[in-house]
């Protein structure tokens, strides 16, 4: 199961990798402290993350899992990526930050 989660997360990061260099849609750029507080694995849900951070890029998988991508402004036109993996029940399963 862990391998499937990691593979899904890796696929989503690769699919959305090009998004790091272009500005995200409104709501997708979020302060790092807000991201960490809103996306607590095992506790946060899709609804709570959406309420706290707003809409963003999403990738849904056939198995019911979903990945959301937010950007953390790093100055100029640079952004770090913050990826949230939701399990089939809509709970945050894992998060990952990738610097520019």
pLDDT tens digits in sequence order for the chain, 100 residues long: 554 444 454 444 444 444 444 554 555 889 888 998 999 999 999 999 999 999 998 999 999 999 999 999 998 889 999 999 999 999 999 999 999 8
Per-residue pLDDT at 22: 53
Separation CA 85–CA 100 (nearest Å): 20
Per-residue pLDDT at 61: 93
User: 2-98 has which fold?
Assistant: Beta-lactamase Inhibitory Protein; Chain:B, domain 1 (3.30.1450)
3-state secondary structure 63-75: CCCEEEEEEEECC
Per-residue pLDDT at 25: 56
Is residue 69 within 8 A of residue 81, CB to CB? The reply is yes
Separation CA 27–CA 44 (nearest Å): 18
Q: Model's pTM, two decimal places?
A: 0.73
Domain ranges of the chain: 2-98
């Amino acid at each position: 199961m862990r391998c499937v989660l990691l593979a899904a997360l890796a696929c989503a990061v690769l699919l959305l990798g090009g998004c790091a260099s272009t500005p995200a849609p409104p709501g997708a750029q979020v302060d790092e402290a807000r991201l960490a507080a809103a996306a607590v694995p095992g506790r946060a849900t899709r609804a709570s993350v959406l309420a706290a951070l707003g809409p963003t890029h999403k990738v849904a998988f056939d198995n019911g899992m979903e990945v959301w991508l937010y950007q953390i402004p790093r100055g100029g036109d640079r952004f770090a990526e913050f990826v949230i993996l939701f399990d089939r029940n809509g709970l945050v399963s894992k998060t990952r930050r990738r610097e520019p």
